[in-house]
Amino acid sequence: MRRVSDDPLSWLLQLEGVPSAFAAARDGIDAVLRDRGLRRTSPETTAESLLRGAHASAVLEGSGSTLAQVREGEADAVAADAVRLSTELLGLAPLLGRAPLQAFARLHAVAAAGTLPAEELGRPRSADAATRLRDLAGLLTRPTAVPAMMVAAVVHAELMIVAPFPSHNGVIARAAERLVLVQRGVDEKSLTVPEAGHLALRAQYESNLRGFREGGDAGVHSWLLYAAEAFAAGAEASPLRRDAV
């Protein structure tokens, strides 16, 4: 981000409507987790959420596989890579907290395994990309008053616009967003499906990412308002919801 201070994200709290939008989205997530999730959720529920998220992320990345095909192990390469990443994702939460740059590298190494030469796995595509990635990792190691969901949205958008790796940047950006929600205690068991929220709002997702890239502070503002809506949609897509597909 562009601001320099002890808390470089704090200016986001001054954007009109953003704090209240994220507070409402957090209330919706908490309601789903409390009302349906505290009746002893199982590892299978988490696995189902991760699978749905991997499928949604893959579709956003161009996959033509259906969720049924993903379940049956018949997914195309894009979806297979997203599923492979989802199976290792939660184990990276502690690493994200103490060494986010290493966590980002590991996300790419897992997603791109078998696609790129070993020497390219986890390595930024350029010196500029490496610098931008270090700056983003630095944000995650600094104290901030900004809510965790807002941090997750910023990480997602920054990874998308920087595209720091030679491949799989969209899948990595969405996985990193989910990982921030886990590591910062919003959804520790990873039961909501933020990727499905983005897929449900695909046109807004893509247009607001363009705005984040090109629209200055106004683009950041619009992205954050959108992200709050997407997180709420992701909560509704949780397998804890009996009516969620």
Reported pTM? 0.94
Query: Which whole number is the average pLDDT over 192-203?
Result: 98
Query: Does the pLDDT at position 133 exceed 90?
Result: yes
Whole-angstrom Cα distance, residue 234 to residue 15? 23
Using the CB atoms, write b or e for 193-232: b if 16+ within 10 Å. bbbbbbbbbeebbeebbebbeeeeeebbbbbbbbbbbbbb
Query: Which whole number is the average pLDDT over 106-120?
Result: 96
Q: Which residue has the tokens 């990309």?
A: 129
Which structural domains are found in the chain, ordered by start? 10-236 (1.10.3290.10)
* pLDDT given at position 113: 96
Whole-angstrom Cα distance, residue 55 to residue 237? 13
Angular region, 107: left φ>0, alpha ψ -120 to 50, beta rest? alpha
User: How does DSSP assign 125-182, residue by residue?
Assistant: SSHHHHHHHHHHHHHHTS--SS-HHHHHHHHHHHHHHH--SSS-HHHHHHHHHHHHHH
- The pLDDT tens digits of the residues spanning 228-237 come to 999 999 999 9
* pLDDT given at position 6: 83
pLDDT bin (cut points 50, 70, 90) of residue 242 is low
Q: Which residue has the tokens 């807004």?
A: 204
* pLDDT given at position 41: 74
- The pLDDT tens digits of the residues spanning 57-105 come to 999 999 999 999 999 999 999 999 999 999 999 999 999 999 999 999 9
* pLDDT given at position 34: 84
* pLDDT given at position 37: 46
* pLDDT given at position 35: 66
List the beta strands (DSSP E) in 42-150: none
